Amino acid sequence: MKILSILPAVLLSTLAYAQETPQDTITKTPEVLGEVLIKAIRVDADSPVTHSNIGREELEKRNLGQDIPFMLNYLPSVVSTSDAGAGVGYTSFRVRGSDASRVNVTLNGIPYNDPESQGSFFVNLPDFTSSVENLQLQRGVGTSTNGSGAFGASLNLLTDAISPEAYGEVSNSFGSFNTRRHNVKFGTGLLNNRVEFQGRLSAIASDGYIDRATSDLKSYFLQGSYVDDNTLIKAITFGGHEVTYQAWNGVDAQTLEEDRTFNSAGMFTDEQGNTRFYDNEVDDYRQDHYQLHWNQRYNNNWSTNLGLNYTYGRGFFEQYKESEDFSTYNLTPLEIGGENIDETDLIRRRWLDNDYYVVNASATYKNNKVELDMGAFYSHYAGDHFGEIIWARYASGSEIRDRYYFSDAAKEEYTVFSKATYRFNDKWQVFGDLQGRFINYQTGGITSDIIPIDVDQNYSFFNPKTGISHQINSRNQLFAYYGRAHREPTRNDFEEGITTPEKLNDYEMGWRFASQNLKINTNIFYMDYEDQLVLSGELNDVGAPLRTTSGSSYRLGLEIDVDVRLSDAWSLRPNVALSRNKNRDFVTSIDGELRSLGETNISFSPEIVASNMLTYQPVANLQLSLLSKYVGEQYMGNIDSEASLLDSFFINDLNIFYELQNVPVFKSVVFSGLVNNLFDVNYESNGYFFTYDDDFSNPGTVTTIEGAGYYPQAGVNFLAGITLKF
């Protein structure tokens, strides 16, 4: 790794530069009342937990309609990807090689991960970035949070803070692939210094880089707040409706070379033998959230927070299927003109209909030496899975709204935690965190594969965490951390017969440096897994990744995050993550036999992920940034097959932001632009890998066949927008 040899020189040169600048201390961001809503699950700047923060001001500069995963793309160890190839529609991200189903996500302290799949689907909340005040990404186990355990990271988002003054905004942006985003925002300001209302309506549409990978996205956000010196009450409702044409099939290697944008979703052959594409092969889903938060400060020491949530989700994906067996859909064979008919072309919908209830309460005590957070969390999830045929060439005796499969599910979770930070003096502080999670998951009926499912599983997890920080001097801080985490299987895991929970011991130690012109955050991590469920590389028939138990595995890495101000106009923010990600003794079936492959690479875990932001700001209201991202090669499976190798890529984006102030009518007019993949690189940020046993080509032998698919990302493309602020 050549990059290892140059890192010491880079650090030494930046440190030498820093010594010429006045001293500054490592300070914490001032706490405002609204941030107490998520205080119990966030950490401070000097905490012994590895983390990164992004505020509204930084988000605004790149917020032109792309989803949350692309807002995170330049943080350490993060890799973002898009099914449609341009950051609109279905997007996802990985942190330290862990996919989104292993990243705990909370919105104002309320879990956002789907309780069954444990994934986070930001396509259901289009333009949510426009309502985010700030976010914190904790890498590793981090501190105790609500919902599914953090096995790669946890992402905490805080929605809009109260605005003391009234405002209005109208934003419009346009770009490549007929992408456009329109939103309006308003805020009343504090009425009688106590009450405030604000809201947003958004619409995003795009044709996508991939053929027919269209997106039609709508969302809303409405918040009412009451505040006085010691009380904050927020009632919030937000949600979205997404209709996206499916693009989860990807392309094989040959098609990648011949037609990068080809999309096989919806393809069928008509009665005349012509190849056609069904025009409504879409995912159609609505999700509405209702939250109530009450924060009460009793004195300088004590405060409490109560959060209530109800989430209602419902929707389907629609597919045209050719020559489907009647038996799969409980249809009776027909006889027409003396011919027996037992299969048919049809259009089906697979539905999800779910309700999610949350009660979340915490109390905080703090004085000059101690900060103590205690809390309890309860959630109840109920979801129905069912399928319908909405058209068939031969409908047999079926009736409209007949369900050819049905399964209901219920999941309950109780969590209690207590965490404390004790400051011995200005130099030393220790952190302790104890959490208990208690889960029951039940499901019964028939799966979409027409297989009976009957699960009733209970899990009890104890997750201790501890850390220590030492402030060497006004510029330097050292910290060490240990965290234990458990994680229950997902619904797909249960369908595959997996019931064993995962276990993780996370060890971290780091150094932070801060001066007036330079900040460095660096840490070493060792994540030791037992029964880790790694991505196998394969997808199920709805594009969801499948997982397999790897036994014993680990991730060992170094992360360096630097922020250096070169001059009044120039700044540089590089980061790099170097890691070794291994299954210790991976066992799999090859040529019909179980084989131990010894140490292999964990799937989707590049050894190098690096980013940089080079920013030029000649005046306060103009900023130009060159954003660079390098992701090393990675295996899409766990058997180190060359057929599963996803190539490395290096891309650059150009971001322009200009705010015109003191103009008639408006408070300001903001112009922003983003040129993605500036140098038009052909690259693939995601894919899949599969194997199957072929016992037909050579009778008496079994040969394992390997294959792979890829998700091409767009070449050079742009987004440009204007925001009118009143």
Which residue segments constitute the domains of the chain, with CATH numbers given? 2-391+405-582+609-725 (2.40.170.20)
User: 502: exposed, middle or buried (C-beta count within 10 Å: 0-12, 13-18, 19+)?
Assistant: buried
pLDDT confidence of residue 428? 96
Q: Residue 88: which of 260, 273, 244 has the closest Cα?
A: 244
- Alpha-carbon torsion angle 252, 254, 258, 259, nearest 10: -10
**Nearest CA-CA partner of 365 in 416, 421, 431:** 421
By residue count, the chain amounts to: 726
DSSP for 689-708, written as a single string: EEEEEE-SSSTT--EEEEEE
Q: Quote the tokens at residue 464.
A: 């201790």
Classify the C-alpha dihedral 595-596-601-603 as positive or negative.
positive
Instruction: Give the Å distances, CA to CA, from 616 to 321, 326, 568, 613, 622.
Output: 53, 64, 9, 10, 8
Which pLDDT value is given to residue 17? 37
Q: DSSP string covering 71-87, please?
A: HSTTSTTEEEEESSSSS
Torsion of CA 491, 494, 498, 500, to 10 degrees: 70
Amino acid (1-letter code) at residue 453? I
Q: Residue 285: which of 122, 409, 83, 124 has the closest Cα?
A: 124
Determine the pLDDT at residue 149: 83
Amino acid at residue number 655: N
32 secondary structure, DSSP code:
-
DSSP 29: P
pLDDT at 700 over 70: no
For 336, other C-beta atoms within 10 Å of its C-beta total 8
- Nearest alpha carbon to residue 317 among 387, 377, 250, 270: 387
For the cut 70, the answer to whether the pLDDT of residue 28 exceeds it is no
Give the model's confidence band at 6: pLDDT under 50 very low, under 70 low, under 90 confident, else very high.
Answer: very low
- pLDDT tens digits, 605-621: 999 999 999 999 999 99
H or E stretch at 6: helix 2-18
Q: What is the pLDDT of residue 8?
A: 38
* Six token digits for residue 666: 């408006």
E strand or H helix at 401: none
For residue 473 the two structure tokens come to: 């001097």
CA–CA distance, 120 with 253 (Å, rounded to integer): 29
What is the distance between the alpha carbons of residues 123 and 587, in angstroms, rounded to a whole number?
36
Average pLDDT over residues 341-345: 94
Amino acid in position 298: Y
Whether pLDDT at 472 is above 80: yes
Pick from 206-210, 333-337, 415-419: least confident:
333-337
* Distance from C-alpha of 380 to C-alpha of 361, rounded to nearest angstrom: 15
User: Is pLDDT of 629 > 50?
Assistant: yes
What is the widest separation between alpha-carbon atoms in the chain? 93
What's the pLDDT score for residue 589?
A: 83
* Residue type at 468 in one-letter notation: I
Distance between CA atoms of residues 644 and 686, nearest Å? 11
| pLDDT for the residue 702 | 72
**How many whole angstroms separate alpha carbon 366 and alpha carbon 389?**
59
Beta bridge partners, 179, equal: 175
Q: Is the pLDDT of residue 111 over 60?
A: yes
- 178 by DSSP, 3-state: which? helix
Determine the residue type at 631: V
Note the pLDDT of residue 29.
33
- What is the pLDDT confidence band of residue 118, given thresholds at 50, 70 and 90? very high
pLDDT digits (tens, 9 = 90+) for 387-425: 999 999 999 988 888 999 999 999 999 999 999 999 999
pLDDT score of 30: 33
User: 285 and 241 in contact (C-beta within 8 Å)?
Assistant: yes
Inform me whether the pLDDT recorded for 219 exceeds 70.
Answer: yes
What amino acid is encoded at 86 in this protein?
Answer: A
**pLDDT interval class at 540 (50, 70, 90):** confident
Average pLDDT, the chain: 91
Mean pLDDT of 456-479: 96
Q: How far apart are CA 716 and CA 711, in angstroms?
A: 16
What lies within 8 Å, CB to CB, of 257 at 6+ separation is none
User: Which 3 state secondary structure label does DSSP give 273?
Assistant: coil
- Residue 526's pLDDT is 98
Any residues with CB less than 8 A from the CB of 354 and at least 6 apart, and which?
Answer: 311, 312, 313, 314, 381, 382, 383, 384
**Residue 37 pLDDT class (50, 70, 90 cuts):** low
Q: Examine the pLDDT at 341 and tell me if it is beyond 60.
A: yes
Per-residue pLDDT at 642: 94
H or E element in which residue 24 lies? none
CA angle, 524 then 562 then 62, to 5°: 115
pLDDT of residue 543: 77
pLDDT band at 35 (very low <50, low <70, confident <90, very high): low
pLDDT at residue 687, as a whole number: 95
CA-closest candidate to residue 142, choices 504, 577, 396, 397: 504
| Residues contacting 455, CB < 8 A, separation 6+ | 441, 442, 443, 444, 494
The three-class DSSP label of residue 447 is coil
Q: What is the pLDDT of residue 696?
A: 58
Q: By the 8 A CB rule, do 672 and 656 touch?
A: yes
Rounded distance between C-alpha atoms, residue 494 and residue 537, angstroms: 18
Query: What is residue 26's predicted lDDT score, i.e. its pLDDT?
Result: 36
Structure tokens at 60: 């605004």
Burial 562-577 (b: 16+ CB within 10 A, else e): bbbbeeeeebebbbbb
pLDDT for res 541: 75
Say if strands 282-297 and 343-366 run parallel, antiparallel, or are unpaired. unpaired
Report whether pLDDT(717) > 50: yes
In whole angstroms, what is the distance from residue 623 CA to residue 161 CA? Answer: 25
- Opening angle at CA 383, ends 380 and 384, nearest 5: 160
Please determine, for residue 463, whether its predicted confidence score (pLDDT) is greater than 80. Answer: yes
Interval 632-669: pLDDT, tens:
999 999 999 999 999 999 999 999 999 999 888 899 99
pLDDT band at 24 (very low <50, low <70, confident <90, very high): very low
Distance (Å, rounded) from C-alpha 129 to C-alpha 578? Answer: 29
- 584's tokens: 């210790």
Residue 18's pLDDT is what? Answer: 39
What's the mean pLDDT in 155-170? 95
Instruction: Name the pLDDT band for 296 (thresholds 50, 70, 90).
Output: very high
Among candidate residues 227, 229, 337, 239, the one with its CA nearest the CA of residue 285? 239
- Nearest C-alpha neighbor of 150 from the set 140, 160, 159, 136: 140
DSSP reduced 3-state for 284: strand
Q: Which sign, positive or negative, has the C-alpha torsion 97, 206, 719, 84?
A: positive
